[in-house]
Structure 1
């Protein structure tokens, strides 16, 4: 099973942990690391490295982080660059993280990355436009002119 490490600023990871637990139940090989104000980036990287080791069962490790270019993402990239079978997705949302729990067993790491990217982008929607498209009703044409 692919190991998952979720990380982000302040309570992003712990908030996602609560939501994932409610949706998918308690997860093995899935760790959530908050980057809090009292933590240095070096401490964050140490925590991320340890988390990756803890969840790795030789099927790969996927980091899911909040902001592209933020410290959790950058430190995960540092790990990815010198650790085989590690990938990073930045800008992860709840549908991606919850689906990672469901989709990772038996999947290849790159396959999981592609699946989660599809899910993440498809879940971002302008709900006004969605509602308007559903509410659009085309008038029925009558052949006899009535």
Structure 2
């Protein structure tokens, strides 16, 4: 099973952890690392490296971080650059993280990355446009009595 490390600013990771637990149950080989104000970036990287070691069963590790270019992303990128069989997706959202729990068995690390990128993109929707499209398909029926 592919290991998953979720990291982000302040309580992003721990918030995602409680949401994933509610959606997918308790997860093995899935670590959540918050980058809190009292932590240095060196401390963050050390925690990310330790989490990757704990989560890796030999099938690879995928980092999912909040902001592209933010400290969790940059430190995970440094790990990816010097450690084999690690990938990183920045800008992760809850649908991606929850689906990572469901989709990470019996796929390659690269297949998981592709699947999660598709899920993440498809879950972002302009709900006004979605509503307008539905309203165009379903004309409002008029009542016979005019009400």
Please state how far the C-alpha of 1:51 moved relative to its aligned partner. 0.1
Q: Which residue of 1 aligns with 2:122?
A: 122
Q: Which residue of 1 aligns with 2:84?
A: 84
SS in 2 for 1:124: coil
Q: Which residue of 2 aligns with 1:142?
A: none
After superposition, where does 1:1-146 map in structure 2 within 5 Å? 1-137=1-137
Query: What is the distance in 1 between the residues matched to 2:37 and 2:46?
Result: 16
Q: 1:30 to 1:136 in 2, by over 3 A?
A: same
Query: What is the distance in 2 between the residues matched to 1:44 and 1:9?
Result: 11
Query: What is the distance in 1 between the residues matched to 2:44 and 2:69?
Result: 15
Query: What is the distance in 1 between the residues matched to 2:138 and 2:60?
Result: 50
Unaligned runs of 5+ in 1: 140-146
Please state how far the C-alpha of 1:137 moved relative to its aligned partner. 3.6
Please state how far the C-alpha of 1:138 moved relative to its aligned partner. 7.2
Runs of 4+ in 1 over 6 A off after TM superposition: none
State TM-score, norm by structure 2: 0.93
Unaligned runs of 5+ in 2: 140-147
State TM-score, norm by structure 1: 0.94
